[in-house]
A and B are shown apart, each in its own frame.
Chain A
Amino acid sequence: MGANLSSQPSLESATLGSPVLTPELESARRVSNSRRALRRFLRQKLAVVGMVITLFLIAIAILAPVIAPTSIDTADVMAANQFPSSAYPFGTDGIGRNVLTRVMFGTRTSLIVGFAAVGIACAIGIPLGLAAGLRGGWVDFVVMRIVEVMVAFPGILFAMFLVSVTGGGIRNIILAIGVTTWVTICRLTRSQLFSLREQEFVQAARSLGVPEWQIAIRHMLPNAIAPLIVVITLAIPTAIFAEAGLSFLGIGINEPTPSLGKMVADSAQYIRVYWYLGFFPTLAIALAMLGFTFVGDGLRDALDPRLN
């Protein structure tokens, strides 16, 4: 068993019986560990491909104001509804905006919304899930009741309420989406801890007097990370589409700022004629999704203490 766990220093220390690590030793091991993880990550071809895709999209998002062919609010009505051509590689929309520009800025908006909303969801969901899974008992009871209240709660109503109180804008949209999507992350963390807390290495660490929270963060969370990564990568496109739904109701992001989700939703009406209106933003979302998936898989393998 020890052999299988050798790549994970904290587990190693727990199971091999060295009760206390000096801080220096700890950080040295961490570095070598992350280096090893990086090496493992880079060994996987798909993970690298995913990384390239993701970095590419992030670069577009950051550089959109510089590299986009037109500014974000340019609309040449006389050049409306142009099919893709050399002048407009992705065509123009119904009021003459360059779709390439909009896909670039849309990627920017959607990545911000996706990452930030899921970040909030993790920030709420993981600690609550850890607490519930670790403590069980009344803590679990209370956290799960909060989850049940949240899951029943109508998201649109909540978003409307939030916007009526604090006004619209990207920040509130992120908040509204984040606050309503932490539930799965929380429940998954909790369920992973349920099964992990009964396993030998955790019992061993506990018997050695390692504090509970340390066991949770250092020993259990890394073992729970694999399914979490999947849920998190899938939560990003969900957030992107949730933003589109809210924008549709006027509680999202205002035009002329585009978002990929909004572009796809708006294009549904035009699908039979101007196919490119929906095609390119969908492609961008699909690319992002593939990128995250591959990176997620790579990360999982790289971080997983038990896989080589």
Chain B
Amino acid sequence: MSRDHRPDSGEVSSRMNLLGQAMRRRSLLGGALGLAGTLAISGRMPGAVRAAQDAALPDDAAPADQQVFVMVANVQTDKTPDFYESVYERLSEAAFDILSEPLVRLDRNFEIGPAGALEWSSNDEGTVWTFKLDPDLMWSDGNPVTANDWVATFRYGADPAHAWDFTWYFQGVIKGWNEAIAGEIPLEELGVRVGENEHELIIETEAPAPYLPAMLLYSNTLSAAALEAHGPLYNSTPETSVTSGPFKLTEWLIDQKVTFEKNPDYTGNLVVPVEKAVVRLADPATYFIMYQNNEIDYMQYPAPADLIIAQSDFPEQIYSSVGDFRTYYLFFDVNTPPFDQLEVRQAFSHAIDRDALKAQILGPAGVPAYSWLAPGFPAANGEELSSIQNFDPDKAKELLAAAGFEDPGAFPPQVMQVRSPTPLVKSISQAAAAMLRENLGIQVEVQDVDQATFMDALTKKPTEIPLGFVSYGMDYLDPSNMLGVWLSGGRHSWSNEEFDKLVKDGASFIGDPAERTKMFQDAERILVEDVPGVFIYHETPVQLIKPWVKGEFIEPDVNGITSLHWPGYTAMSTVPAELYIGADAPAGRGDS
């Protein structure tokens, strides 16, 4: 017997169920393709797919030559479009990972569906996973996409000579990963290999890994041939770029713009109406003016003042997204007095009025947080936990007094360090500090710290930040990921054996999903009650989207979200397929 897991809903679903899901999904995208995709196991004809895609353009769509979607990305991080080259230096906030297929992808309801792998299954223990690959996928250099490509990609990710910035991700998950990144075993011994034939990929895990498919959202493969011939940055210039994804790279003007055009030979299961995706590279402070000038169709994170202009001039273009279920929080080094006292931490947690922050500062950009997992995230339990860290200034003062600070003036002055804040985070952190001063009568300064210095100080052992303000957003949709941040020896100095056990056991638990959820919820309760962090808000990033960007995303999904949400405009998501450009779009966008 084999099992399939859908960690997003926490249910174990049957193989048939998943296929049914995929079918339904495809029929929404265009019935013809759905049939072509599932029936034509061998010898699917690209021509037929093209026809299906053209037919998919709705009546109110602009003609094909005007199907141009213009995005913007931060000029600071524009090194590569590839996850396995660098996660943190990829084209940000926009189009990345669209030059190949991942093994699985998410739809807008966060359900996992097939992509590079048409189906997958595990052994009974959940430790050996077999992915049956789409045999029709082709690289633009004429090579077929095979298991060898994924093997090469994972080996590259684990290669100590590459020293990838995301090696932690598969630590303790893929068999041999820890040893491989340390150079203790040859890369050939990594638990990723070719199966019975070159269209079968086998991944072995260290422990039962029900969340593995969810993790493999990030598995856009590199081309083994291109990697060999041109090195890992082959996708940074059109000359050496190869694609098996829905787009091909046609232009990369360093620090100015990146242009992707539809890959005419794409045979995957995404139907993409857009013919051309343009990514302008700019400083985030200039996004809003570009948006107003119709130079871009879409942007995220307008500054608070820009949002006010948007609210008065074009309120219908404002969307609240889920982002990456990011929670902003204040944290303590629980080993540094006075934060070693639970009462002090509790006092802090009751002294911050999240509702006022929401009403006066956040607006549509966030919702008050009293716990770690954001609403809508698997195992989220916000309502239940909301009374533990609630706003109660009187209780806060009592707790501070109980901790031995009847005279708040005796409380040592504090400096709250904030990681390279945006204008919004600047306001929130300063307002939170003002509330601590106001409600507790203690002194708190706020210091903005650049990213590199902050992360260095935070992760030093022992940490050099006694009181700080930072955020975390999920990497994949499983509570083990979000809660994992608080494991002993991780980001923070807080350590709790019971919490560790619950999270680790829950992560590899393959029994009843409800029981698994319960384990995570128990863990989160410990976290909230012991207050190593004061949770301030869950981010719901504001997006601005031009009215001519049309598609399914403007209808609420099962979670009630209407936005171009995570994982964004990439091959990891069906969102690119939901989006087309309306006939009302101004012509010539993305040209200059």
Binding site for B on A (CB under 8 A): 73-75, 77-78, 80-81, 94-97, 160, 164, 168, 247-250, 254-257, 266, 268-274
Contacts and interface: CB of A to CB of B under 8 A. Distances in A.
B468 to A, nearest CB: 12
B430 interface: yes
A250 B360 contact: no
A244 to B, nearest CB: 12
Q: Which of B360, B426, B438 has the most CB of A within 10 A?
A: B360
A269 B453 contact: no
Nearest to A94: B427
B54 interface: no
Contacts of A73: 434, 437, 443
A256 B434 contact: yes
B320 to A, nearest CB: 20
Interface in B104-130: none
Contact of B453 (A250, A256, A272, A273): A250
Interface in B268-290: 285
8 contacts: A168-B447, A249-B448, A250-B450, A255-B447, A256-B433, A256-B446, A266-B426, A269-B285
Contact of A75 (B420, B434, B453): B434
B431 A95 contact: yes
B433 A272 contact: no
A189 B210 CA distance: 74
Chain B interface SS verdict (over half): helix
Contacts of A266: 423, 426
Most buried by B among A78, A255, A257, A271: A255
B435 A255 contact: no
Contacts of B454: 250
Contacts of B404: none
Contact of A249 (B361, B430, B450): B450
B529 to A, nearest CB: 27
Interface string B414-425: 010110100100
B445 interface: yes
A248 B448 contact: yes
A117 B20 CA distance: 71
Interface in B301-323: 303-306, 308-309
Given A249-B450, A254-B447, A77 B431 contact: yes
Interface of B: 285, 303-306, 308-309, 353, 356-357, 359-361, 415, 417-418, 420, 423, 426-427, 430-431, 433-435, 437-438, 443, 445-450, 453-454
A255 B423 contact: no
A77 B434 contact: yes
Contact of A255 (B353, B356, B433): B433
Given A78-B356, A95-B427, A95-B431, A254 B445 contact: yes
Nearest to B429: A255
B361 A95 contact: yes
A250 B448 contact: yes
Given A75-B438, A77-B435, A266-B426, A94 B415 contact: no
Contacts of A160: 453
Nearest to A75: B434
A77 B361 contact: yes
Q: Which 7 pairs between the two chains have the least Cβ-Cβ distance?
A: A75-B434, A254-B445, A250-B449, A95-B431, A270-B305, A255-B446, A250-B448
A164 B437 CA distance: 27
Given A77-B360, A250-B453, A95 B309 contact: no
Contacts of A249: 448, 450
Contacts of B448: 247-250
Contacts of A78: 356, 359-360
A78 B353 CA distance: 11
A37 B334 CA distance: 63
Nearest to B422: A269
Contacts of B304: 94, 269-270
B309 to A, nearest CB: 6
Contacts of A272: 305-306, 309
B360 A254 contact: no
A11 B553 CA distance: 84
